[in-house]
Amino acid sequence: MNVILSSIAAVLTTISFFPQAVKAMKGNTKSISLGMYVIFVIGIICWTIYGISSKNYAITVANSFGFILASIILYNKVKNVVKGVD
């Protein structure tokens, strides 16, 4: 039961980033907090390392994909800040 529940939680929290990532890739990042995403990406890296070290499949996979999506958002935010768009 724990594996199923953790897998469902991992999938739901990970896919929740898709709409924001799509919006960011289209250039709309004004409402995104740069500081929050910097802190979040660092935190998600820590969770991924924890998942790997504890051999927890759900934590490792979910946070790996979460890292990719959050990094896309963060990259686009930083790019827009540097351009002066945000």
What pLDDT shows up at residue 62? Answer: 87
What pLDDT shows up at residue 86? Answer: 80
Percentage of residues in the chain with pLDDT exceeding 90?
67
- CATH code: domain 2-83 is 1.20.1280.290
What number is the average pLDDT over the span 27-56?
Answer: 94
Q: What is the mean pLDDT of the chain?
A: 91
> How far apart are alpha carbons 1 and 79 in whole angstroms?
43
pLDDT tens-digit series, residues 48-77? 999 999 998 888 988 999 999 999 999 999
What is each CA distance from 69 to 4, 31, 66, in whole angstroms? 23, 17, 5
Tokens describing residue 28: 């709309």
**pLDDT-derived band of residue 33, with 50, 70 and 90 as boundaries?**
very high
> How far apart are alpha carbons 56 and 36 in whole angstroms?
26
